Amino acid sequence: MLASRLTARDKWLLALLHEHRVLTSFQIQDAAFPSGRSARQRVLDLYLWRAISRFRPFQQLGSAPMHYVLGPAGAAVLAAEHGLEVKELGYRHDRAMAIAHNQRLAHTVGVNDFFTSLIAHTRHTKADEAVTAWWSESRCARHFGDLVIPDGYGRWRTHHHGTTKEVEWFLEFDTGTESLTKVGRKLAGYARLAESTGIATPVLMWLPTTRREAGARTALARVHAGLDAPRTVPVATAAADLLDPAAPHPSPAEAVWLPLTSARTDRADPRYSLADLADAWPGLKPPAGPGTEDGDGEAAAAASPYRLPPPSPIPPRATPNRIARGEN
């Protein structure tokens, strides 16, 4: 039955849930659907077919959005597409649903909201921009966990007037619960990673408020100045309350990023958009490779033969028959 009903976009959503563990109804809409109505109808179908499962976490005031995880039938489809058994995916339904009670649920949802809002931005603006890579915390842990565990890894590409720019970054998503001293200490791990790989990758710190950002910048500057090679760890910070809540699709792509150190002194506005952020560090080399693995895709695949590749952050187009039915 699923073979005749699942579209390319459905399968992409299943892979996204496997990679990132949980997505809310709003995040699914941001990532792949033009309206809440079309998103709700499709995820209801997927839920009834057991391709996805759902839960609604407790919220003190109001009602939380529905949260979705990969379901048993969806896991079977993913495994079959890659010639694997479901157990080789590392999937168990009880483990997938356990995130409903995980203390890090809000953090995981926050990280995923960061990236899905970027995807929504690219889908609803006329600019030639795209998220070209989005790795989960667990994938980052498998690749870099002996040195540092970022909350995510991403790449952003822009094309303007015949010029293409691309920036990659590690994300540190702060919810305001960690001490600022601990936040600052994370830079030492990124310095070790840069020394090990020979690659200077920006670290983006996303904080809940500008007040929290100001305190974090003090802690970060203290640690950053003490690094053996500070230039190998470019850092920028931003706060969620800098976004315009009245904007149709507010996202971290906007000019909210403030570099910790920058060689540029000729800008009227010290904050950068995500597209222009690499300009803050003129010596920064552009990302190498397609962004699908960590620079050695074959070696990574050999080390983890039963792990799926990261799904593309760019959703497939809606199938023609669904466009005709108004479900695109």
| pLDDT higher at 296 or 5 | 5
pLDDT at 294 over 60: no
The pLDDT value given to residue 303? 38
Residue 146 has pLDDT above 50, yes or no: yes
Residue 310 lies in a domain: no
pLDDT score at 307 = 73
Q: How far, in Å, are 24, 84, 136, 307 from residue 105 at the CA level? A: 11, 28, 14, 23
Any domain includes 242: yes
Are 2 and 63 in the same domain? yes
Are residues 8 and 63 part of one domain?
yes
Domain of 196 in residue numbering reads as 104-295
Q: How confident is the model at residue 263 (pLDDT cuts 50, 70, 90)?
A: low
The type of residue at 157 is R
Q: What are phi and psi of 55, to 5 degrees?
A: -155, 160
Separation between Cα atoms, residue 201 and residue 206, nearest integer Å:
16
Residue 320: pLDDT band by 50, 70, 90 thresholds? low
Average pLDDT, integer, range 44-63: 94
Token pair recorded at residue 250: 């507010």
- Residue 28: closest CA among 132, 127, 112: 112
* Cβ atoms of 208 and 239 closer than 8 Å: yes
308 occurs within a structural domain: no
3-state helix, strand, coil in the chain (%, to 5): 45, 15, 40
Q: Does 271 share its domain with 131? A: yes
Residues 157 and 228 in one domain: yes
Q: Are residues 70 and 139 in the same domain?
A: no
User: Does residue 326 fall inside a structural domain?
Assistant: yes
Residues 245 and 131 in one domain: yes
For residue 282, what pLDDT band results from cuts at 50, 70 and 90? Answer: confident
Q: How many domains does the chain have?
A: 2
Is the per-residue pLDDT at 293 higher than 60? no
List the CATH number of the domain containing 37: 1.10.10.10
Angle formed by the axes of helices 8-20 and 72-81, nearest 10°: 100
Q: Does some domain include residue 309?
A: no
Query: 144 and 9 in one domain?
Result: no
Percentage, residues of the chain above pLDDT 90: 76
Same domain for 71 and 108?
Answer: no
Residue 286 lies in a domain: yes
My answer on whether 290 and 325 are in the same domain is no
- Please say if the pLDDT value at position 322 is more than 80: no
249 in any annotated domain: yes
Q: Is residue 302 part of a domain?
A: no
| pLDDT tens digits for range 160-217 | 777 888 999 999 999 999 999 999 999 999 999 999 999 999 999 999 999 999 999 9
Q: Is the pTM of this model over 0.85?
A: yes
Amino acid in position 228: D
110 and 19 in a single domain? The answer is no
| Same domain as 254, residue 149 | yes
Please indicate, yes or no, whether residues 268 and 328 belong to a single structural domain of this protein. no
The answer to whether 289 and 305 are in contact (CB under 8 A) is: no
